[in-house]
Amino acid sequence: MPPDLYLVRHGETEWSASGRHTGRTDIPLTPRGEAEAAWLAGRLASAQFTHVYSSPRRRALRTCELAGWGAAAVVEPDLAEWDYGDYEGLHTAEILKARPGWSLFRDGCPGGESPEQACGRADRLLERLRGLGGNVALFTHGHFGRLLGARWMGLPVADAVHLQLDTASLSILGAEHGAPVIALWNELPAGPAP
């Protein structure tokens, strides 16, 4: 049996709140993002993880820390967000104005990762994780997390466009009768926003 993968997107940052593509830029969580991560601590308190991995970006590492798993975390470079290259810091509307019809999961980013490169990274990571036992926590990012969900299911990269991931969301990738399933997707804090 493959492990259950608890996929956690980092809490809100200034750029995620405004819709700017944030790949390599290493910015902190907003106060709201810190509150979102604190909700995750309560949600993950009873979880038993045999392995905890985090993207090297401080927004993911801080989310992991505030969620109560920082001491157990191993930095995993393959969990970093998609490399947006020339589109780093831009809003989708700005990109579409210059490149009508653009889709990250189909077209990639000039000067950054292609869909094939990002898919290769996701597949390599998932292959390593499938060999682990127990539950595994992954603190990562929006677009790369969506790609992990699609690839876990064996779907093409382009299908990741259909999987939304909000900040500080929790998703669980698991298996049923040997087949990969999405057991939970994009769970957010109940009640009013932090």
Of 34, 65, 76, 81, the active-site residue reads: 81
| Residue 12 appears among annotated catalytic residues | no
Of 10, 21, 51, 141, the active-site residue reads: 10
How far is the CA of 193 from the CAs of 12, 35, 142, in angstroms?
12, 9, 19
Q: How far apart are CA 118 and CA 151, in angstroms?
A: 11
Contact 158, 103 (CB under 8 A): yes
28: closest CA among 59, 70, 61?
Answer: 59
| Residue 81 appears among annotated catalytic residues | yes
105: closest CA among 149, 51, 168?
Answer: 149
Q: How far apart are CA 169 and CA 41, in angstroms?
A: 12
Q: Which residues are catalytic?
A: 10, 81
